[in-house]
Amino acid sequence: MNEPPTYPEFSKHYPLLVKSLMKRPLYLYPDDVALVYRHEAGKYSRFTWRQWHARTCQLAHGLKALGVVAGDRVATMALNHHWHMEAIYATICIGAVSHPINVRLSLDHMAHTITHAEDKIIFFDRDTLPLVEALFDRIKRHVRAFVYMSDAAALPATRVTPLYAYEALVADQPQSFDWPDLNEDTHAVLYYTTGTTGLPKGALYTHRQIYLHSLHVSLFLHSAPHRPTDPPRPNQMITVLNIPLFHIHAWGSPFFSVLMCARILLPGRFTAEGFCELVQTEKANATMFVPTMLAMILEYQEIDRWDLSSLTMINVGGGALPLGLKRKAEKRFPYMRVGSGYGMTETYDGVISAHIKREMVDWPQEQIDQVMVKTGLPYVPAIDARVVDEAGHEVPRDDETIGQIVLRGHWIMEQYFKDPQRTAEAWRDGWFHTGDAAKVGPDGYITIVDRITDVIRCGSEMVPTVLLENLTCNADFVLEAMCVGVPDEKWGEIPMALVKLMPGAKKTEEDVLDFLRQEGVDKGKITKWMLPVYVALVDEIPKTSVGKYNKREVRKQLDRFLGMAKRVRM
């Protein structure tokens, strides 16, 4: 007797694919506004879920017409707008790999990522056209075609060829597409690191990893403990996508936001004025910043012109969240709740998050603040995190002993693209070694103290620069602070602080030192040996392409910054 057929591939083995994320809003809210793009001139474009999906289907047909097949890398060099979102989904869901290029890298590093990835197609827009032209001679032998993303009818005058107009490419294509049933371990996205210690490294991620990350983020956002003083949770998240899509796809936002049927607000180029206008116009209630973006908003002179009261949730990542910056933000925006998180290119997005537990909901605000500026806990069951010493043993939970964060989990990078040696260096003893130094408190909360390579070794004392930076930012008159080691014959290294003051602050280098003595040394938060020997008051602190403090650049220009600094102690 013949057994009836079964279909395990569509039951217990049903693949976890990015195309499934698109289906949910189409089922539930097809005619709700899905994407809002604010053009630089203040013009707005709006698309429903049905319209956005139809355009994505048209682009999928367009990619097929250009010869894109499964496994090909399709790159984007663009701001955050609806064309970029369509390109990401169309590429991934036909089985190709989306490669958003970090347009803030050097030309050498951008050329390396394009040729190393073997990108077949590059999508770009008006803002990135000059970069594509500057790179063209170095990449033209590798790239099959270029696509210009714009609503303009005509192509720009350029020597970049072969060049296609985005709207012409999709105009006559069908508005539906039979998305393939891919293997869930099919590679979907490729991101490159910022190359602060050498050439950028590529990290590949699969459909399964993106799907599971989106699912867990959605679960976390809806299950976190709620405090009595917190604003009510909105029925719909209306989120401003500030983080560039080249920065690990804005920390996964295009995927979990679609799963959650959020309204996605795309600001194009980030400016303080553009952000404020978008929040006021669309009544945005959520966003994400790197700390430097949040600092830009706080120093924006005309911020009082705008109604930002709808904004209640801000997540800060890409760098430690200083307690001082958090308090300044929540003082400016009383309904805002700011928390920090931790991730890196090799972890796809956040893996550790500062959040309160149920027993903390009635704690005084000052105690809550102390929790929310820590790096936090692994916030989903899909991630396992430890802090270990050089022998691989977990450090004591004494909030003092420093070790390295190591990780396992569903969306930890499996390997560096075409780089087995660096893969082996990172993956040791079954754990991914992040290179970030941290300590662990009795409650299990992790606090990053530095990159291992950035710790200042002053005699026998280790000076964690992140600790010193966060403490400095607690001063009401400080907007940003960065600390680096300066070579010294006697001590090996001594600390130097670069400080950007709050607008209008009339303070001196000695005021910075006095604050650190009173709030740090006198209160037992740091030792006197950790105090900066040099303080430089600067207009701007060098940043990397993703908004982190660029300590490598400061070290390269150490003589210049020392010339600006004042020695405040012997």
Residue 232 has a pLDDT of 77
Of the listed ranges 110-124, 137-151, 513-527, the one predicted with least confidence: 513-527
Which whole number is the average pLDDT over 163-170? 96
CATH architecture of 271-452: 3-Layer(aba) Sandwich (3.40)
Answer whether residue 196 shows pLDDT above 70.
Answer: no
Three-state secondary structure call for residue 100: strand
Residue 250 has a pLDDT of 87
Answer whether residue 513 shows pLDDT above 70.
Answer: yes
The better pLDDT of the pair 524, 481 is held by 481
E strand or H helix that includes residue 149:
strand 145-149
- pLDDT bracket for residue 374 (50, 70, 90): confident
Q: One-letter amino acid identity for 301?
A: Q
- Give CA separation, 448 vs 214, 328, 372, 374, 440, in Å: 25, 21, 13, 8, 9
Which whole number is the average pLDDT over 274-290? 93
Which whole number is the average pLDDT over 519-533? 82
The pLDDT tens digits of the residues spanning 32-89 come to: 999 999 998 789 999 999 999 999 999 999 999 999 999 999 999 999 999 999 999 9
Q: What is the pTM of this model?
A: 0.82
Tokens of residue 448, six digits: 């990053």
- The span from the CA of 222 to the CA of 541, in Å, is 37
Q: Average pLDDT over the chain, rounded to whole?
A: 89
Answer whether residue 320 shows pLDDT above 70.
Answer: no
47-205 shares its CATH topology with 456-567: no
Torsion angles phi and psi, residue 347, rounded to 5:
-115, 10
- The span from the CA of 136 to the CA of 124, in Å, is 12
Residue 552 has a pLDDT of 80
Q: In Å, how far from its chain's centre is CA 323?
A: 20
Residue 249 has a pLDDT of 81
> Is the peptide bond preceding residue 162 cis, with omega within 30 degrees of 0?
yes
Answer whether residue 459 shows pLDDT above 70.
Answer: no
Residue 124 has a pLDDT of 98
Answer whether residue 336 shows pLDDT above 80.
Answer: no
Hey, where are the domains in the chain?
47-205, 271-452, 456-567
Beta bridge partners of 36: 46, 265
- Give CA separation, 16 vs 140, 213, 347, in Å: 36, 11, 19
- The span from the CA of 48 to the CA of 303, in Å, is 30
The better pLDDT of the pair 147, 220 is held by 147
Sign of CA dihedral 365, 314, 270, 550: positive
DSSP structure string for 269-296 = S--HHHHHHHHHHHT--EEEE-HHHHHH
Determine what percent of the chain is predicted with pLDDT higher than 70.
96
CATH topology of domain 456-567: GMP Synthetase; Chain A, domain 3 (3.30.300)
For strands 263-266 and 33-38, give the pairing.
Answer: parallel
Residue 283 has a pLDDT of 96
Torsion angles phi and psi, residue 265, rounded to 5:
-100, 120
Residue with tokens 């790179």: 135
Answer whether residue 522 shows pLDDT above 90.
Answer: no
Superfamily name and number for 47-205: ANL, N-terminal domain (3.40.50.12780)
Answer whether residue 460 shows pLDDT above 60.
Answer: no
Q: Both ends of the chain: CA-CA distance in Å?
A: 92
The better pLDDT of the pair 239, 463 is held by 239
Sheet strands (E) in 277-423: 286-289, 313-316, 337-343, 350-353, 377-378, 383-388, 403-409
Three-state secondary structure call for residue 266: strand
Of the listed ranges 163-172, 393-402, 471-480, 547-556, the one predicted with least confidence: 547-556
Listed ranges 128-137, 221-230, 488-497; the one with the highest mean pLDDT? 128-137
- Give CA separation, 500 vs 122, 299, 323, 455, in Å: 38, 11, 16, 21
Determine what percent of the chain is predicted with pLDDT higher than 90.
56
Tokens of residue 228, six digits: 């009595």
- Give CA separation, 40 vs 80, 154, 268, 490, in Å: 11, 19, 7, 54
The pLDDT tens digits of the residues spanning 378-403 come to: 877 889 999 999 899 999 999 988 89
Q: How many CB atoms lie within 10 A of CB 59?
A: 24
